[in-house]
Amino acid sequence: MAKWLNNPECLLFEIRQNIAYITLNRPEKRNALSLKLHEELVAAFMEADDRTAVRVVVLQGAGVDFCAGVDIAGGALATETDAQYDPQDYRLRDSGMEDDIWLCELSSQMRLIIHAMHKPVIAKIHGNCLAGGSDLALNCDIVIASTDARIGFPAVRAFGSPANHMWLYLVGPQWAKRMLMTGDLLTGADAARIGLVLEAYPPDELDAEVERLAQRLAVIPSDLQATHKRIVNIGLELMGWQTLQRLAAENDGRAHLSSKYTEFFDNAKKLGFKEALRLRDAPYADLTGDARADSTVTLNMKGQNPRVGERA
């Protein structure tokens, strides 16, 4: 019987050899983040942090993607229908900017539990890791990716800005601006080269390499791991991390006032969600000459970084 997490619907939870595996389990939705999944993630992280047998957590996704983002089509953070209450009594995104900001902060705070946890969390990235999915992954203490994973925030082209912001701390101001001002994607290999993720491995080696790292971390007792994690995280807070997370969530809400945001959802209502996405991304395909609208940046840096598929 679990203390925090009981009968989850959207994720899987397993403990093996002092390692807790939390698996996003909405493969039919490409593991898009619904409110229910957010709530279960909080409970799963609490369960792992409280369990004495657990020393490290691995966060991963079922199916072809780690996480395709927030479940916008499904109304991820709108108040869900429940026979026990009237949804109109609660905040809705379209009720005004303050309510929108409140909901942005809600999703942000749910993901920031990773920062507050005492135990280390490794994100294992394969397939697409987009928008809110990248918010979730980049909050983790260590991120390991498949070389062919695609990581980025294409939602900045219409939806807003990351409600959780680790880009500046991981890659510096120029790369952060370059990626967030275009919504382009990086492969896992190139993400490792610029420091967005720690390491990248070929797809058929990813599971084994993450397992190897998790086992190494699990050797050290949790009280020591908590000390190391807390020192580094306090360093981030001294660099303004806590304030930036609040500002990021608030400005995500303000960005929803953009004409592009309204245009996207008008198109979604009239033409369907997939067509609205195509129209959103079409100008970027035209500029790059790439048939894929969410074009992936390719860096000419092969062989220059031992973090990509190699052990130093």
* Mean pLDDT, all residues of the chain: 88
Amino acid at 1: M
Instruction: For 101-147, give the DSSP string.
Output: HHHHHHHHHHHTHHHH-SS-EEEEE-SEEETHHHHHHHTSSEEEEET
pLDDT band at 81 (very low <50, low <70, confident <90, very high): very low
* 137/129 Cα distance (integer angstroms): 8
- The verdict on residue 220 lying in a domain is yes
- DSSP H/E element including 23: strand 19-24
Amino acid at 216: R
- The verdict on residue 309 lying in a domain is no
Pairing of strands 199-201, 142-146: parallel
Q: What is the pLDDT of residue 43?
A: 97
Number of structural domains (the chain) is 1
- The verdict on residue 4 lying in a domain is no
Residue 311 has pLDDT above 60, yes or no: no
Q: What is the pLDDT of residue 75?
A: 55
CATH of the domain at 80: 3.90.226.10
Share of the chain above pLDDT 70, in %: 86
Residue 289 has pLDDT above 50, yes or no: no
Q: Where are the alpha helices (DSSP H) in the chain?
A: 35-50, 97-111, 113-116, 132-138, 167-180, 188-194, 203-218, 222-238, 241-255, 259-271, 273-288
pLDDT in tens, 113-168: 999 999 999 999 999 999 999 999 999 999 999 999 999 999 999 988 999 999 99
- The verdict on residue 78 lying in a domain is yes
- The verdict on residue 311 lying in a domain is no
Contact 158, 263 (CB under 8 A): yes
- The verdict on residue 281 lying in a domain is yes
> The domain containing residue 141 runs over which residues?
11-297
- The verdict on residue 221 lying in a domain is yes
* 10/135 Cα distance (integer angstroms): 18
Positive or negative torsion for Cα 17, 19, 24, 30: negative
- The verdict on residue 302 lying in a domain is no
